[in-house]
Amino acid sequence: MNSATPSLKLQLGILASGSGSNLQAIIDRCNDSSLQANIALVISNNPEAFALQRAAQAGISHCCIDHRQFEQRDDFERAVVAKLQESKVELVVLAGFMRLIGDTFLHAFPQRIINIHPALLPAFPGLHVQQKALDYGAKFSGCTVHLVDSGVDTGPIIMQAVVPVYDDDSADDLAARILVEEHKIYPRAIQLLAAGRLKIEGRRVRSVPAFPPTPVALHNPPLQND
């Protein structure tokens, strides 16, 4: 994504259904200027979402569009898209938004919708993924920022972070460890987009110029320390 006019901040529309801790991380990084973007609008489909309170507290425009008021997903999406377009949103950021994204939405914002998912995609798409990682016996999990396409958590991967899974983890323990990393990588991924540092080539999203390679491998259990 190119920012043709670097002096103008990328206008974000953030969609959240729940607590909004990722929204908060993005607000905080905009406020300390490590993220050169502006949150134009926050929308929730859930009137009870704490994310709406976070937006209010930060003085950010926000509204609820309750999906239960619409018979068809298409009509719900049309209402959301209209609000986002009214606010001149350039990048749609799904931050714990628990609705599937359909064609109406995708066509309105082609390659301009991103999501964060609490697993290392393509492993464990969908819901309850921390429990799924535990049940599978994975030794690492993590989080993924990706472009949204018509599949469930299948779009091109922008950034990932890895965390270890420990033998005595509960799903909540693992979710909390992953969430800490979500709060780091989501604002960073948005900043890379805002700065025009990412080139989308089919499934591969490259950094331009490229970053130096990450010089480590991770092992769990560790190689030493018996």
> What residues contact 4, with CB distance under 8 A and at least 6 apart?
none
Closer residue to ligand GAR, CB minimum distance, 8 or 56: 56
CA distances from 226 to 70, 102, 138, 177 (A): 59, 51, 21, 24
User: Residue 125 or residue 196: which is nearer to ligand GAR going by CB?
Assistant: 125
CB burial of 133-148 (b: ≥16 within 10 Å; e: otherwise) equals: bbeeebeebbbbbbbb
Instruction: Give the 3-state secondary structure of residue 89.
Output: coil
118 vs 182: CA distance, rounded Å: 8
Catalytic residue chosen out of the listed positions 67, 107, 117, 146: 117
Extract the tokens encoding 126.
């969908």
CA distances from 176 to 93, 109, 169, 172, 173 (A): 21, 31, 10, 6, 5
Name which of 138 and 179 has its Cβ closer to ligand GAR.
179
Q: How far is the CB of 210 from ligand GAR (least distance, A)?
A: 27
Which residues form the interface with ligand GAR (CB under 6 A)? 16, 18-22, 95-96, 116-118, 179, 182
Question: What letter would DSSP give residue 67?
Answer: G
Question: Which residue's beta carbon is nearest to the bound ligand GAR?
Answer: 96
Minimal distance, residue 64 CB to ligand GAR, in Å? 15
CB of 173 to ligand GAR, least distance (A): 13
**CB 8 to ligand GAR: min, Å:** 27
Nearer Cβ to ligand GAR (19/104): 19
Active site residue 146: no
Cα–Cα distance, 162 to 98 (Å, whole number) = 23
Q: Which residues are catalytic?
A: 117
